[in-house]
Structure 1
Amino acid sequence: MVEKSDGTLTEGSLAHLKMSLPHGTDLEQIEFLDTKNHGGIHNLLAYVKHLKGQDEQALQILREAEDLIQREYADQADMRSLVTWGNYAWVYHHMGRWAEAQAYLDKVENTCKKLASPSRYRLESPEMDCEEGWALLKCGGQYYKRAKACFEKALAVEPENPEFSMGFAITAFRLNHYNRNVISLDPLKKAVRLNPEDTYIKVLLALKLQDIGQETYVFQYASKFYRKKGCVDRAIQLLQKALEARPNCAYLHYQIGLCYRAKLFQVKKATNMNPRRKERENVDTLVQQAINEFQETLRLRSTLEMAYVYLAEMYAEIGQYREAEENFQKALCMDNIVDHVQQDIHYHYGRFQQFHMRSEDKAITHYLKGLKIEEMSFARERLISALEKLANSRVRRNICVVESVSLLGLSHKLKGEVKEALLCYERALRLTAQLNAMF
């Protein structure tokens, strides 16, 4: 079976599945549903191959499933592999290859024992409930109620889990077509909040909002799509339409501000970060438009943390560093900010100190403050990258070399690169010893 490098299925592999699926299974739902659970769809395809007597092909697909699970769930690989190992045992049993079947049964039993399951071959966990929910959801409308129950059970244990929320929202959306009493709007909103980069779930939410006559929100979500695709003018048009219905919506003004900010970066990138006089005028216009929108955002909602951050960035773009500092400090001093937003604030303020104020020490201080917040997030990844680049630059320029090499070690450690981290720490110790010997 052919597979893309990102783990998604190609047209060829989907064609295999379409020819093999039991009657009543909706292939389009499988093709567009699997935003994350790539291992699960391989398990389903392997099962169908087994039903058709194509056991060698089933084994190959299970190997692919196992590889995908290792990549997608490295920290939960054993638990997430239980279904795949059970399928291995099933296929080998029917092939009469008892030793291989027993080997996989032993792996299941050992994992259940390690995870303190009272059953030898079954593990009660929200992850397993989620896995069962995805499998049922792929197999047609008659299984949707059972799938919904599986996701509900998983969410009862981890109500803020993005994958569980995604599965439940998709199931509720599909059930809503059969039964209008099934509430799907709130689960979809929650799933979008917990999976902000997932386009599929945003499309479902947009369809639901359109269905209940809330087109304004459709414009809002569509504009995000166009902005992230680089079609910023189209995004602004949609947001302006939404503003006609909700002129005092702070979030719409915030989104328009982000669009002008995105256009600014497009111009700077096209001119290699050094716009000429005519382009400079365009840059200044975009900056002022962004400033106006972020100011209006904060007039309408003074608690929107990132509006202060982006407003500060725009002031920094035109050299108004006092105004930039004031707005950064407002964001830094706010209370009850969620962890990933705190990380983002420290990242942007560190960049301001590094590139505008030319204070690498203050930049490092804020990158480290952000990294002390241990939530795994995109902002955390950016903090690690910024710290690593700055530390490398300081080593090359022979600035505070021991400290900079130690910071490199930290960045490797945070990325899980233990060997590289140890090499940096050993180098830092050697440099320290050499300095002590000199004095």
Structure 2
Amino acid sequence: MGADSKDSLKSSLLQLKCYFTWSLLKQDVELDDLEEKIDHQVEFFTKSRLTIYNLLSYICHLNNSKEKALANLQKAEEEVKRHHPDEIARRSLVTWGNYAWIYYHMGRYEEAQLYVSKVENSCKKLPGASRWKAQLPEIYAEEGWALLKFGKKYYERARTCFENALQGEPNNLEFSAGYAITVYRLESPFKSHSQALRLLKRAAELDPENTFIVVLLALKLQDVKRTEEGERYIEEALKQTPAVPYTLRYAAKFYRRKGEVDKAVELLRKALAVTPNPAILHHQLAVCYRSELAQLREAVRHPPEEQVDKLIQLSISHFKTAVEKNPKFFYSHIDLAKMYIEANRYEEAEETFQKAFQINILSHGDKQELHYFYGNFKYFQMKEESEAIEHYLEGLKSRKGYYYFAKCKNALRMLLEQRIQGGSTDAADFGRLGLVHHLCGETHQAIQCYEQALALQPDHQDYLSALCELRLSISS
């Protein structure tokens, strides 16, 4: 194939709607962990596995296993023939797009062109389709599922995809489930007026056999203090799918939060017997041992040291396993660091925090949480007050509206006020406290702090600018 033909082929490929054009970035996931999760879904999902095989083919491509990627696309084609024999062309557009891209990356350009042509010829027969694109509900939904698998930075895009899919088919079971799951993941817990609760109920009514939806509904009911109602759904899900790992995991989370930690541990051990490797199962088991430790300390004023040490070590062991299996699992890093602090193993806590800072997929909320707990570690354990202040301040540089924004702000306020009351003559202390007051909407206090900062450091441009802005806000 000549250079012009190759350029034309690449231009066509970029027009296709498939995994290769949905901006699903390799660096945002731990590929081996994700592949293992998807493999388990093949085993436990009995309905159409088309999306699962397409996603697996893309993951295999990212892992440079091209032949394995092609084998999964063949399985996807078999799924279409089995479940949609009258709509083979319509249901294969994403699969054919994936084929075209994989053959292109293998240097098999004629075969890539063949699949591009198959997509083009099929789109010609579909109403409202452009040359290489069809705006079909099932394609929007497949993109939504793929985005969900690549992590929370993709959730807003996933929500839009499922909304588009539902516009075409408002009562579709799969689209309703995808939309409900996405909103559940985006919504903060314990929200009294919960959109996720309404959507999960609707999805469960449409498809009561979808136990993934049922267990999420149970957890959401628990969030809003309707635990008894939620437990009925958990019991029903465990009857329907007693050996499916995701059912066991979410049921374990429900019982742990209810205070029945032994039952939660038993369910997680059942899940690990079926699938021993998933990082999330080890993380949840570690959280259970941490909860058991908290219960023990609450029940007994001076619990046996041997028992305390055993629970700490069990928790550390499973958090470590979770981190090893998924080095991008942010919460396992945070929880492991905190448990090392619990065990007075400060060097290992420091090392774990540093690894967490290196994770490249942290959200604004994650960064705030990390700076908050690292600031606490620096202040309470390492007695490094200035370092703690720097990290609380760094936490404030991310967006407002996250839970740990307020935590960083309050911790910073407390430390700065202590320093100033202790006779500090450092302009930076007054300037930073001015920033805290400003963020709290306490304009007059902020002005007073910046004036004191400028009295100590008269030509500081940042303090002058902040003071000018605050005075203008009062006069306007």
Structure 2 length-normalised TM: 0.48
Pick the aligned partner of 2:338 from 290, 293, 313.
313
Q: Where do residues 284-303 of structure 1 align in structure 2 (5 Å cutoff)?
A: 284-303=309-328
In the alignment, what sits opposite 2:53? Answer: none
State yes or no: 1:248 paired with 2:277. yes
Given the superposition, is the C-alpha separation of residues 235 and 209 from structure 1 closer, same or farther in structure 2, using an over 3 Å criterion? farther
The aligned amino acid for 1:211 is E
Which of 186, 204, 225 aligns to 1:194? It is 186
Instruction: Work out the CA distance in 2 between the residues paired with 1:229 and 1:394.
Output: 42
1:297 shift after superposition: 0.8
Alignment correspondent of 1:374: 399
1:362-402 Cα offsets, whole Å, 9 max, x none, are: 11111122222225311222211221222233334445665
Matches within 5 A, 1:29-44: none
Kindly provide the amino acid, as one letter, of the partner of residue 239 in structure 1: L
Superposed displacement of residue 212, structure 1: 2.8
Q: Give 1:16-415 correspondences, 5 Å limit.
A: 176=171, 180=173, 183-198=175-190, 201=196, 204=200, 207=204, 211-212=209-210, 214=212, 215=241, 216-267=245-296, 276=302, 278-374=303-399, 376-399=401-424, 402-415=427-440
Conserved in 2, the CA contact under 8 Å of 1:309 and 1:328?
A: yes
Q: 1:359 to 1:297 in 2, by over 3 A?
A: same
**What SS does the corresponding residue of 2:375 show, helix, strand or coil?**
helix
Q: Which secondary structure does the structure 2 equivalent of 1:404 belong to?
A: helix
Distance, in Å, in 1 between the alignment partners of 2:347 and 2:384 is 15
Corresponding residue SS for 1:211: coil
- Change in Cα spacing, 1:393 to 1:285, as seen in structure 2 (3 Å) is farther
1:255 corresponds to which letter in structure 2? Q
Identify the residue that residue 64 of structure 1 maps to in structure 2: none
Q: Is the 8 A contact 1:250 1:296 kept in 2?
A: yes
Check conservation: 2:413, 2:433, Cα contact below 8 A: yes
Counterpart contact for 1:394–1:401, Cα < 8 Å: no
* 1:337–1:373 CA distance, 2 compared to 1 (3 A): same
Match for residue 215 of structure 2? Answer: none
Determine the C-alpha separation between the residues in 2 that align with 1:347 and 1:333: 16
Structure 1 SS opposite 2:328: coil
CA contact (8 A) 2:425 2:456 kept: no
Give the Å deviation of 1:335. 2.1
Greater mean deviation of Cα atoms: 205-214 or 353-362 = 205-214
- How many Å separate the matches in 2 of 1:160 and 1:416? 31
| CA–CA distance in structure 1, aligned partners of residues 425 and 257 of structure 2 | 39
The CA distance in 2 between the partners of 1:240 and 1:304, in whole Å, is 20
Structure of higher RCO (CA pairs closer than 8 Å, 6+ residues apart): 2
* Partner Cα distance (2:294, 2:416) in 1: 25
Deviates more, 1:384-393 or 1:283-292: 384-393
In the alignment, the residues of structure 2 paired with residue 396 and residue 283 of structure 1 have an alpha-carbon distance, to the nearest angstrom, of: 39
1:392 alignment partner AA: E
Q: Is the 8 A contact 1:250 1:301 kept in 2?
A: yes
222 and 315 in structure 1: CA distance in 2 versus 1, 3 angstrom threshold: same
1:235-283 residue CA offsets vs partner (Å, 9 max, x unmatched)? 4344334334332221121122223333444555677xxx63x344333
Question: Could you say what the CA RMSD is over the residues aligned between the two structures, in angstroms?
Answer: 4.1
**Alpha-carbon distance in 1 for matches of 2:366, 2:427:** 31
Structure 2 runs not aligned, ≥5 long: 1-143, 145-153, 213-240, 459-476
Task: Tell me, in whole angstroms, the C-alpha distance in 1 between the residues paired with 2:208 and 2:273.
Answer: 17
What CA distance in whole angstroms lies between the structure 2 residues aligned with 1:365 and 1:386?
A: 11
Q: Write out per-residue CA displacement over residues 36-82 of structure 1, whole angstroms, 9 at most, x where no aligned residue.
A: xxxxxxxxxxxxxxxxxxxxxxxxxxxxxxxxxxxxxxxxxxxxxxx
SS state at 1:346 partner: helix
Change in Cα spacing, 1:291 to 1:183, as seen in structure 2 (3 Å) is same
Which amino acid in structure 2 is aligned with residue 413 of structure 1? H
Residue range with higher mean Cα deviation, 380-389 or 349-358: 380-389
Equivalent pairs: percent with the same residue?
35
Distance between the aligned counterparts of 1:337 and 1:209, measured in 2?
Answer: 34
- Give the secondary structure class of the aligned counterpart of 1:184: helix
CA separation of 1:368/1:244 partners in 2, compared to 1, >3 Å: closer, same or farther?
Answer: same
**Residues in 2 aligned to 1:307 and 1:267: alpha-carbon distance in whole angstroms:** 22
SS, match of residue 183 in structure 1: helix
The alignment partner of 1:336 has SS state of coil
Measured in 1, the distance between the counterparts of 2:355 and 2:275 equals: 27
